[in-house]
Structure 1
Amino acid sequence: MFRFKSLELMNWDCYPNYRVPMDGEIILLIGQNGSGKTTFLDALRVLLNGPRLSKSRTLHHYIRKDVETAMIRGVVTNTLVGDRRTFSHLGIYGEVDVSIICIIRNKGNRKIEKEYFIVKGDPPIEKIKDFKNGMRPLQYSKQLEDAGVSRSTLQLIALEQGQTDRIGQLNANQLLQLVMDITGNKEIIKRYEDARQNYRRASQQLLELKTEYNKIQLQTAELEKQASEAEAYKSFLDEKKVIETEKLPISKWYHILDNLHKLERNYAEKLELKVVAEKQSKGVREEQEKLKTLRELIQKDQNELRGTQQKHEKELNALHQKIGKCHSEWQRLEELRKASLDTNVAESPQELKAKQEEVQLSYFQSKNALGEVEKKLSTLKKELATLEESPLPTYPDEIYNFREILDEAGIDHLLFAECIEILEPKWQLAIEAFLGRERFSVFVDEHDFLQAKKIGERNRYAFYISPYGETEIPTQIRTNSILAQLQIADERIAERLVPLKDILLVDSVQEGHKHKKHITITQSGYRQDKRGGIFIAHKIRFYCGGLAVEQQIQEVEEAIEREKEKIPNLQVKLSLASEQKRKIDEKLKIIRRKEEWLSSKDKYDEVKKEGDKYLAESEKINEERRKILKDIDLLNEKVNQNFAAYQQAEKEFARMQRDQKALQEEMHNVEQKILQLRWQKEELEKEIPSDIRTGYTREDVEDRDWLEHKMKELFAKIENYVGCKELEKIALFEHETKELKKKKLQLVRQENDYQHRSDELEKCREDYREMIIHTIDFYNKSVKHLASLAGCKMRVFLEMGNAESLIEDSRMEVRVAFDQKREVNIRDKSLSGGQDVIASLILLVALSRMEQDQASGFFIMDEHNAHLDTVRIVEVGRFLRSTKAQFVLTTPTTENVSALSVADLILSFTKKSNKSPYAPKPRFIRRLN
């Protein structure tokens, strides 16, 4: 078996992630009661998939509700035992470390799952967290068993605190089973068990076969009578079968043949009528085709005439367009001629154009100026309406735009100007002049601060963006400071207001000059500080509090009145410029018309002659068009007559089609009946074998009605038969006779097999007896040797069972003698608690020495020193070390050096502090050789 080198716990009870060494032969866990020793041992039990934990604890005791994943990882050796390594069955070879891992997953609702892994090496915990598809507990136990961890070892590591003597409390039969499970020859045990099962199975099969043979003998005698009655009943059935399967079907077959001949003659007559009807229908269709061809020729002529008509229409439309153009041009020239007769303008065109440019410039300047005034007036009225409706002053557009963007981003914020109210109107100008750009600072929550600054950068917001502060307003404030003149609506901006307690408001420059260490500002906005004095109230508009609203309303009303005063003067200028422009435009228009007539005078008569020519051509085309329309009407009448004749032929063809369809349906019905009769004939021919059908002539077969009457009589006889009607009894009788012979042969073979199994069992029983005697003899030697090391006498002897009860009744008795007293049974009540512990340890450790020099093993002993004195403790330690096994021992915190001296490695545990959720990491001390 392997040896532990280290153990790592993650999220196991109060251990977050600790790793401790375990590379000693004897490892001693010490600590106060409740310091975690049992918790550590239970981690080992879970890692080895032990059957139970200490004190009936469960995984829920060690896995906290808030923990999703816990881990127990042991690093062990890949020990060479004989000629193979411990984990070679998993493909892990060589002297390398191996990690055995248990990952515990908390699924909630008190559901916890375990998953096991066996991997080469010592992988980091980050890699282990990604492990998937591990082994289930049963599969893992099988792998551990192949690595040398037997089921009995798992039972032994499950010993409770102070129960090291438990093995000594087992009865004689249980002790024997424990020894055989760990050290017995599994092949011999299995062979004996198989032989015993085969013997019992052969014995049972022989008994069952004899019972079955006797049963068949009785059944065969009863079946003989029933088979005779069934033979008589069968004769009626056979006669019925001949009529039912031969004579009656043949009679029906001849009847179907007669009906089939009649229908086939009828079908041939209808087929002749169909040929005549199809010929007539074809003639009507040919007549229709002729009418259709004639109609297509007429329609072709119509299309040609329509093409000519369309051509004339296009020519006529072109002429009408030309006539219209000539008429429009003549009218235009006529108007120019009349207009040129009464024109009288004194100025030259150049003079008029110069005046026109001057007047147009004046007109557009006046119009643009009036538009600007009206636009500004509209904006001021909207601003006034907003101020009158809102309790807050209006701010520059960029403030509103940025606040709207913050609202869309879901960022709650405040504007500095909204959070203060100036108490005295006389200081409104001074305070707002001093605050300046600070009035438009925006304040947001700390968690929105970064996002708000990013939005400010993206939108180029030219004022500060700050987080809400936790500064409190000071209680002692100068009465003449700016802060004293402010009413604060939201104290989250207090951090910006606190410096205002040192800014003083003064009535004059002279008064401010006295406060050289402070910043002062007069009512008119003159600031004084260490650098000197400066006027800061240039073009200041109020934005803070109710006074700002009143001042803004007054400013807007005054601006509206100023703009209204500009409108009448601009309207007069625009009206004069418009009238001058109209008069000049009219004079220029008269001059242009006269010039245009002079240039177009020769064209006046030509346009009139050209129009008359186009009118004559139009009349000629109209005459030809009327003639074509008359020809088209005549062709339409021929088409209508042709179509009427075609429709009449179509009706006649439809009537013929209906008649043909009716005839076709009649033929189809006859055809279906013929098919049905043919199918019935074929089905009957399938039922009637050909040799039987040819063996009966029409005269040999009785009438169908007589055969049906005969069938009724047979039905009555069969129905009222009082004997055995079960025909299978005939075959069953024959079958049972054969089965009786077969069972006789099987019985002989089974008796031979029974004798063979009995001989085989006797041989295996002898092998098992020799093996158990040899094993207990060797175990007795180990026990005696270990007892001598422990300072006592102890022996083991075997009481064998007999024959069938060889295993069940075999017992292993143990006798022990301490302090040169008489020998007693190991379960004798005269033994002290310490003697019980030593005797149990000898039996337990002797199991690991059964492989002589290769002895090994792993044992957990929780408070094994419970009943031992100092001398016994030292002797037990020496005794344990001699076993070559690995032991994990526990003891409460003690000053007994003897209890500590036995260990190679001491792990010291400490109770968890109430101030910490985690237990301290165990400390360790190594023994120096």
Structure 2
Amino acid sequence: MFQFRKLEMRNWDFWQSIEVPLDAQIVTIVGPNGSGKTTLLDALRTLLALPCSGRRDYKRYVRNASEPVAWLRAVVDNPALKSGDFFRQRPFWAIADDRVTLFCRVSKQGGDWVRHYAIAPGELELTPECDKSLNWLGVRDYKLNLEQAGLTRAIAEVLALEQGDTDKLCEYGPKALLDLVFQVFGDKAVLDNYQHAKNEQKEAENELQELTRQLDGLEVRVNNMRSRAQRYLDWQTLSAEVQRLESGVLPAMRYLESYESVMGYVSQFKGMRRNLKARQDELARADAELRAQADSAEQAIAAEQTADTNYKALFAPFQQAGSEARSAEKLLEQRAKLKALAEAESGADAVGLGEKLGHLRAEQGELQARIKQAKLDREQLAELQYALQGGRPPSEPFVRQMRAALDEAGIGHQLLSEIVEVRDNSWQTAVEALLAPYRHIILLNREADKQAAFQVGQRLQYRHFIVPDREAAPRAVPGSILEIIDLKADAPGWLSRQLNNVQRVRSVEAASGVQGDWITREGYHKERRGARFIGVDARDHHFGEAARVSRLDEASRRLRDLNQQLLDWESESVELGRQVSSLQLQLAGMDAVQQLAARGDEFDAAEKMLPELRAEAQRLGGELADQQASLDAARKQAVDGRLAMQKTEIARDALLRQVKELLVQVESRQQEQTRQIEEAKRLRADWVAQGLPAGTLPALKDEWGSAQNVRHDIHRQQDRLEHGDWERDASVLELREKMQQDYEQLANETASRGREVERAHELTNEARSAYIAKLRATIRSYSLNVKRLGELSGITVEVEPPHLDNDDLTLSQAGLAVRFDFDQKGMMGLNDGEASGGQQVMKSLILLIGLMMDDSNPSGFVFIDEPFAHLDVLNIDKVGAFLKATQAQYLITTPLTHNVNAFAPSELTLCTYKKRPGERWAPVISQARRRVNTTRPA
């Protein structure tokens, strides 16, 4: 292996440009802690592509320099070797020069520091042209070149030992130590030959195994060929049967079934036509009945309007006559009071009259306020009555505002109350109770308008649902609320399902056996959360004609009561006014006698007219009562007519839908019948084309029954063909003959390869014998080295050679056991825990230096970081003595505090210094070389 002669560092840590000599066997690097001793060794490690000591790496050193590029250059020797290999005359066998220059360039690329290496013949200086003139290598290729020059991986592992780890070599186990020794001392050609022989033997065995496996597989395939041929014949037979069923039997059976289906369709079509004719006749009768009911309803409405007009015409004279009669009565009552006042006037009190006048005026003011509010209520009731008489119940203000906005936006819609009709009026209250939360729901006519409608609802903050999704009502469950409701248009599906899930019950007791939701006539409702009363007052009914009639009757009754109340209040107000006037007159100085005298004619006229006015009021009242009865009868007849017409219209609409559905079905049936006739003709043509005689049809019918049975059998056979293990290749017999020939050929080749495997075994045994011989020679050489080093240091060293047999198992388990005797205290092993720290260092140095004492390759170098740290003075001298006795190069670090004996073996001493504060670069390294005595003793 090569040795170092010179080292140059540029921009390495805190050294700007330093060149130090290393041309000595033992080089001691001395300096205080932190002066750069380990930094110099890490420079050599980086130059050899080895890891730095501790947790350091090369990037740390180039970052400290703060320069873009760092350079390391070393000059090493390239001595001639005592090797019999023609191509390995020198460590760097491709270079014939005695000197070789190693370069390491560390530069920044892509934000990270990258190493490149170069090997140049001769002693080449570091110049700017080197960057382009040298052949730069990557880390992996550079390591391969150094390994060929003798820096094996084992030696690299030893060189990478950190400071204070020189005793680690003694911690190796026997097997690891033997591997390390043979990697350093062993002949690479012997190792390569042995490994090559083993690889060839393994490849030959693998090929023989593969051929044997192929031969076994081929034998199995040859044996299976007969069964494959049989499966091919079975497959042919089954395919022919399937072909016969598909081409002959199935068309015949399809024709028979098509003919029978056509006959059945003709019969069904005739029955459907008869049913259609019956429904059309019913529809015509329903249309005639609806027209008659419409005429009757118009007549009833006209009669209702006439009766209402007559009632209103009589109501005003009746009110006038009643008012005049009451006025006459009031005058007579006032005359009686004046007479009483006249009799008691002499004792009247003015203060008391004033207080009474105040009370009367306050009472009159309250009565006027009630009359004003009652007139407002009468106007609203009149509007409600007018709207209900027109057939359209009025809506709440916020509903009218929302509908007006939708109409303005061109969005067609309906209220839920406009499409619901209750067929059974006895359940009106229950229906109203269930639908009360939904009475203001708006249903869109087109789902496409939902986005615009939602925007209007958001703008007006409409608190009720706007529903775009509508669907036809499902079939009503018997006993449900939906059963007594007619929906004139599509409604929300969720509402229809809810009504269909609620059962009608007579009472809570009758609902004991009902599962699910139910409701009574009065509105007591049970749902999943429990039961409660949700009934609605008749005045708040909204759904159906009955609700409209009920609200109309209630509005008419309240209007009559309110009119009567207004008459009474107005009469009372007139009387209060007269009393106030009378008191005002009394307080103004007029007495009751004067009033009686002044108003005597008025009182006499009232007394004469009162009987006539009462008689006229009674006559008009009787006529008004008769007219009211006529109006009620006409109104009831109009309501009954409208209800009957609605029921007839509902039935007529149902018949119309049935007729339309039947027309579509008849047309579809007719088209299907035509298609089946054409299909039957085509199937007959296909069946006739197969050449089957017509007489075979009955037999096929008896055998198969239907085309479905034929299809099932075809499917079963096809499933067997598809999923069965069939052979479909007709050349299976020829393939069997060919495979038999291949089998014989492969058997001959397998026998030949077996002979090759036997020859490979012989070659492996021969290579293993050479390997064992070389291994024994290496052990002997290394044993002599460590024993000689032990003698130099006064330590008895024994090496127990391993047991080596000519087999791979024994070689893989072999190890090198080394024992040491310090001061005749008994033998100890490598790492048995009995040695002191200094003894561990001595053992490791002996083992380490013994690796470098190869007579055939005496060169090499070793990095030892502070080897004297745990040694006394005597042992330091001993170590120095046997270091000089070897031919390897040693680069040793030591601190300034050591004994001067540590410098005794050194031929070249390099002294490092700490960087001074405030300066960028550290001082240069000084050197001291031992004077060589040229005179030798005789």
Q: Give TM-score, length-normalised by structure 2.
A: 0.45
Q: Give TM-score, length-normalised by structure 1.
A: 0.46
